Amino acid sequence: MAAKVHDLEDVLDALHRSAKDEGAKVSVDEILATFGRRSFGPLLLLCGLLGMTPVSGIPSVPSILAVITVLIAGQMVFGREAIWIPRFIAKLSVAADKIEKAVRVSRKPARWVDKVVRPRLHALTSPLADRLVAAACVLVALAVPPLELVPFAAFIPSLAIFTFGLGLVARDGLVVLVALLLSAAALGLIGWRLLGG
């Protein structure tokens, strides 16, 4: 049964359960099953969150998370009700202990975040706005692979994706605005990088 998610700590709890239940490794498909294939917001939040934790230190993981983000957000743009992931990506996995470490690192900030976010600025969390958010997530995710070789550079686009996901989960339009600013910073960073900065 898919986990019910209302805030960031709910996401961490579900991820922790998945890591505990699935043995030595946790696959993308198992994570999808944990959250449910209609959980666009929580899964975008999760992709961004993992991109900011020690899991992102594993070579190629930031790019894989970016591809998954593009798949999830792209389907959201086109109004799909359930998420489809290609089998070869669904079978990719990460060590359960890496997931558990990421959850531990994220617990304290998550408690603070959950106290701050709340439903507001509803115009920015309407169905149309959700699709615009998803389109922004696609653009930001495309910035990740070129930045992967630069230490910590993928953190900013991951933070933007995380913030968009948080805005969707909490229905907080102010968080969506912050995510748009972070997106501009992420896209500016990739532009600077491509120009040889």
Q: Is the pLDDT of residue 152 over 90?
A: no
What does the pLDDT read at residue 93? 87
Please state the rounded mean pLDDT for residues 27-34: 87
44, 5 contact by CB (below 8 A):
no
- In this structure, what token pair is assigned to residue 172? 């907080």
Please state the rounded mean pLDDT for residues 107-121: 89
52, 159 contact by CB (below 8 A):
yes
The DSSP bridge partners found for residue 25 are 95
| 1 domain residue, yes or no | no
* Mean pLDDT over each residue of the chain, to the nearest integer: 85
Q: How many Cβ atoms sit within 10 Å of the Cβ of residue 142?
A: 17
| 161 domain residue, yes or no | yes
User: Which whole-number Å values give the CA distances from 59 to 39, 86, 150, 156, in the listed order?
Assistant: 27, 21, 12, 18
Residue 113 domain boundaries: 8-194
| 141 domain residue, yes or no | yes
**How far apart (Å, rounded) are the C-alpha atoms in residues 15 and 105?**
13
The structural domain count of the chain equals 1
Please state the rounded mean pLDDT for residues 39-65: 84
| 181 domain residue, yes or no | yes
| 171 domain residue, yes or no | yes
